[in-house]
Each structure stands twice: as structure tokens, then as C-alpha cells.
Amino acid sequence: MRARIFPGQGAQRKGMGDGVFEEFSELTARADELLGYSVAELCLEDPEGKLRQTRYAQPAIYFVNALLHLGAQGEPAGFDYFAGHSLGEYNALVAAGMLELIDGLALVRQRAEAMAGITGGAMLAVIGLSREQVESLLLSEGVAAVYVANWNSDRQVVVAGDRTGIRALGKEAMRSGAAKVAPLNVSGPFHTPLMNPARIEFDEALARCAFKPGDVPVVSSTTGEIVDPARLRELLSTQISTPVQWVRTVRTLRGLGVTGFSEVNGATLTKLDSEID
């Protein structure tokens, strides 16, 4: 069995999507109208460096992911499951037929605006320690307002929260044997309870969106379980302020019989998958 997987924020890079905007010119024109700017110019040239900003990065990644998937529809075999890391989950829902592409772009734009409004926090990737080791550090060192945000692999855990607490956790992690700690280029403490104001704001957009049952199962990176279409609003709301469970997602897919993973827009998740037992 095969699964297509979609990366989230962090996959953005200047030049991404080269060739697909022309291939899907009508969809690109609709995206430009909805966003109020040229998504192709943003992705291919990024003249003002906006791809580093959450409010621009998320719609750009989502749209490029979507077009790259559409452009690969001629592959010899279809996919048995879809999954996406955080933001990438919206692409998985579109690919599975649960959400229309442009409706998803409208949601992602509002999600990005809400999340960009939470500032003052930080995120840090801890490489070389397990989730249990990182959680133990958070408890034993009494680091305030810092949470596990992404369980990405057996060797990579991302924490998020107060900047001072993040710096303290980084030092403790290195003293405890971490191979590396790497700050992420984001403005807020994503996937933690500190994002609850953004979640509440985004709930208004979710209430107006229509979802469908879909044709192919999606495994959620929020729960690590197969998505129930009837609970999508709750799931996507919760996603903003709870950890990304990518390890559980991959283990669930493997348990369902998936032996092949096909990632669009880079190889970020493919590398993480190789680090998951």
C-alpha cells in the first residue's frame, strides 16, 4: 500500500512550485484573487522576503503542495492513504476529497492570519533525544511555559513556548546529550496551549466551511488516527494548540499496511520517516 504525505510550515523555499503555476493557470488566478497577491511571484521570486512570515508561508506551501499533487495524478498507481504534517493535513483532506482546494486555501489563509497574531514565543528542534527524555527535562528542570509541540521522529522533538524558557531548555538538552538544538524560524509557540487565542479566532472560519465524506482515508497528524469527517471542525481547531503526532501518524500508516511513502514538495517528512521505528 502507498501513502502520499504533505509537509507543513518549514518546507517553504524560494523557487518552489516552478512550472506548476503555468500548468494550473486557472487555479493560480483564483488563488491570486483570494489572497490579494501573486502566489507565483511570492514562491518563485519572494522579492520582499515574505516567505519567512507565517501569514504568507502557510498559503504558499499549501497551494504548491496542492498543485504538485495534481500534477502527479498520472502516476502508475493511486494512493491508499493520505496524511500531512500540521498545515499539510489540509492538503491531505483536499487530496482525499473531503475539502475543495480553493475552500482549503481560504481556510489556510485565515489560519495563517490567526497564528501570525500570536507573537513573542519561540520553537526549538531538539535532535538526538527521545520524546521521553525531553519531557523529563521539562519536568525536572521546571522550565516554565514550554511544551512539546512536534513529535517528529524518534530522534527529533520540537518544543515551543516562552523565549526565555526555550533558551533554558536548549542548554539543558545539550548538557543531557542532545546532538543539536536548532531554533525554528517562526514567530509564535505553535501547537501549544499558548495558541488558544488563535484557535478561538479560527473557529469562526471553520464554522463556515463545508466538508465532505471523502474517497480515501486520511490519518491525522493531530491524533495519529484515521480522520472522522464528521469531526473535522473539532480536529482542525484542536490542531492549532496541541502537539503534532507525526510518529504516531507514521506508525499507524505502517500498521495499516503502508510500505511506500510519496512526499510532495521536498523530502522533509521522508527523512523523519526513516528515523521512526
Mean pLDDT of 122-148: 91
The residues assigned a catalytic role are: 86, 191
Q: Say what angle helices 88-95 and 54-71 make with each other, to 10 degrees.
A: 30
In the prediction, which pLDDT does 77 show?
58
In the DSSP assignment, the letter for residue 235 is H
**Do 164 and 177 fall within a single domain?**
yes
Q: Which of 183, 213, 228 is the last residue of a domain?
A: 183
Residue 44 has pLDDT above 90, yes or no: yes
- Confirm whether pTM is higher than 0.85: yes
CB 88 within 8 A of CB 65: yes
Mean pLDDT of 13-24: 95
Largest CA distance in the chain: 55
Residue 244 has pLDDT above 80, yes or no: yes
CATH code: domain of residue 135: 3.30.70.250
Can you say whether the dihedral through the CA atoms of 2, 84, 269, 180 is positive or negative? negative
What percentage of the chain carries pLDDT values higher than 90?
Answer: 91
Its domain, for residue 249, covers 2-117+192-273
**Do 241 and 197 fall within a single domain?**
yes
What are the tens digits of pLDDT across the range 98-116? 999 999 999 999 999 999 9
Helix H segments across 75-207? 88-95, 101-116, 131-140, 163-175, 196-207
Q: Which of 183, 201, 227 is the last residue of a domain?
A: 183
C-alpha cell recorded at residue 138: 521539562
Q: Which of 163, 183, 203 is the last residue of a domain?
A: 183
**Do 51 and 160 fall within a single domain?**
no
| Structural domains in the chain (count) | 2
Query: What pLDDT band is residue 73 in, cutting at 50, 70 and 90?
Result: low
H or E element in which residue 156 lies? strand 156-162
